[in-house]
Amino acid sequence: MSDAREPSFAGSFYPGDMQSLNTMIDGFFRRAKSEKIRNIRGLIVPHAGYIYSGKIAASGYRYLSESSEPARPIILLGPNHRGFPYDPVTDSALEWKFPNGNLSLNRSLIASVDKENVKTDHYAHALEHSLEVQGPIIVRKVPNFGILPIIIGDQSFSSILRLYKDLSEILPDTVIIATSDLSHYIPEKTARKIDEKIISSIETLDIKALYSLVDSGATPCGYGPAAFLMLYSAENGFKLEHVSYGTSADTTGDSESVVGYTAIVCHG
């Protein structure tokens, strides 16, 4: 077991030095708008490079940052972009390091998961960016009692339902941060139409509609983590509320091939 996970994407997805990183994050939060929403239970946020999706992520994280509720452990759920291992996996490290500080892994939460269904794979986490890019924002802005990071290769509904049942007992005492980007590498006009449907399916807790969109060619890379938060919301009477949307064209000016990003808040 490695005692620490070193950052793999510092200097590419986000600045590699503390001052530049914190300055960038603080700027995103200054520009992010938020209204008072109580009892924040989770978020859906993007995981692209900060110059593309950082402002969208901040518009979601700001609700946690400004919350007056007690700090809780955070369950991080993201897609495994390499697809292997296929099963959900957590990390064996004791902490994750970032240029602006470290995050402890909550060992009691990790010990509570079913090891038959949630394996441990430090190497898989070292190669995956979707959860790493959440780290510096959490370090800077979100009080917490450690993280339980899980990346998911098999995002089928049966796999997500199994994971949900495995974690159900620990969910009430945590915050769930699920990460997904939306449409990938299509014209912005088309992406916005498809992403509107994806966001609508999430807000209405229509998991069948979300998976139908994916089966029809929509490309949200973290639809499984989103479905997990939808299950949690439906079972507990929580609301999923869309608070921000944008595309990579907002940064690049290239509207011919974009990636879509959203922030959605779970509360109730």
Q: Check whether 10 has a pLDDT greater than 80.
A: yes
φ, ψ (nearest 5 deg) of residue 162 = -65, -45
Q: Which H/E stretch holds residue 184?
A: strand 184-186
Mean pLDDT of 134-138: 98
Q: Check whether 34 has a pLDDT greater than 80.
A: no
The pLDDT value recorded for residue 213 is 98
Question: Residue 154 in contact with residue 96, Cβ under 8 Å?
Answer: no
Average per-residue pLDDT for the chain = 96
Q: Check whether 1 has a pLDDT greater than 70.
A: no
Distances in Å between the Cα of 73 and the Cα atoms of 91, 160, 228, 260 are 15, 21, 17, 28
Q: How confident is the model at residue 86 (pLDDT cuts 50, 70, 90)?
A: confident
d(CA 139, CA 16): 14
The pLDDT value recorded for residue 33 is 80
Q: Check whether 91 has a pLDDT greater than 80.
A: yes
Q: Other CB atoms closer than 10 Å to residue 162's CB: what's the count?
A: 17
Among 174, 198, 206, CA closest to 260:
198
In our burial notation (b when 16+ CB lie closer than 10 A, e otherwise), range 84-111 reads: ebebbbbbbbebbbbbbbebebbeebbe
* CA max distance for the chain: 47
pLDDT digits (tens, 9 = 90+) for 115-128: 888 999 999 999 99
Q: How confident is the model at residue 104 (pLDDT cuts 50, 70, 90)?
A: very high
The pLDDT value recorded for residue 114 is 85
Distance of CA 122 to the CA centre of its chain: 19
Q: Check whether 54 has a pLDDT greater than 60.
A: yes
Q: Which three-class secondary structure state does DSSP give residue 149?
A: strand
Q: Which residue segments constitute the domains of the chain, with CATH numbers given?
A: 4-267 (3.40.830.10)
d(CA 184, CA 191): 8
The pLDDT value recorded for residue 84 is 81
50-65 and 18-31 helices, crossing angle to 10°: 70
Mean pLDDT of 156-175: 96
Mean pLDDT of 184-190: 98
